[in-house]
Structure 1
């Protein structure tokens, strides 16, 4: 099975994203079990993520992420009952 370098990079990025999602799910579950409301957890997660992104990559990257997330929200990508066609 031969993979190009870009395919391998894509696979590695996908694996890292899956690991990051698992960490976030664990942190979310811990917060909920401690009685922290979902809205507070979400705001704290966004604030922390944007602070770290601004620190590491700058304002353009943070604004780009916000634009991407806005488009995904409008498209319904985060809806729990989303139907893929």
Structure 2
């Protein structure tokens, strides 16, 4: 187990994303359908958030997701000009 207590918050966010992306790549390599993987990941993330913050807070937290998606915040292959 890796001790991340010495890392800054941004560093731990990047590390967390790296862990998720590595697990994602491994699952796809093992034949897990990316759509099923995405659905499971969203469910797991929202379930954990609800357990910590409650339904109403998570509903407020996620209310702006559609705009953020349209803006391209979650697009990994953005083209910049």
CA-based RMSD of the aligned residues comes to 2.0
The number of residue pairs the alignment matches comes to 75
Q: TM-score, length-normalised on structure 1?
A: 0.73
2:50 and 2:58 map into 1 onto residues whose CA distance is 6
Instruction: Name stretches of at least 5 consecutive residues in structure 1 with no aligned partner.
Output: 1-10
Q: Which moved more, 1:75-84 or 1:49-58?
A: 75-84
Residue of structure 2 in register with 1:40 after alignment: 36
Choose between structure 1 and 2: higher helix proportion: 1
Structure number with greater Rg is 1
Q: TM-score, length-normalised on structure 2?
A: 0.76
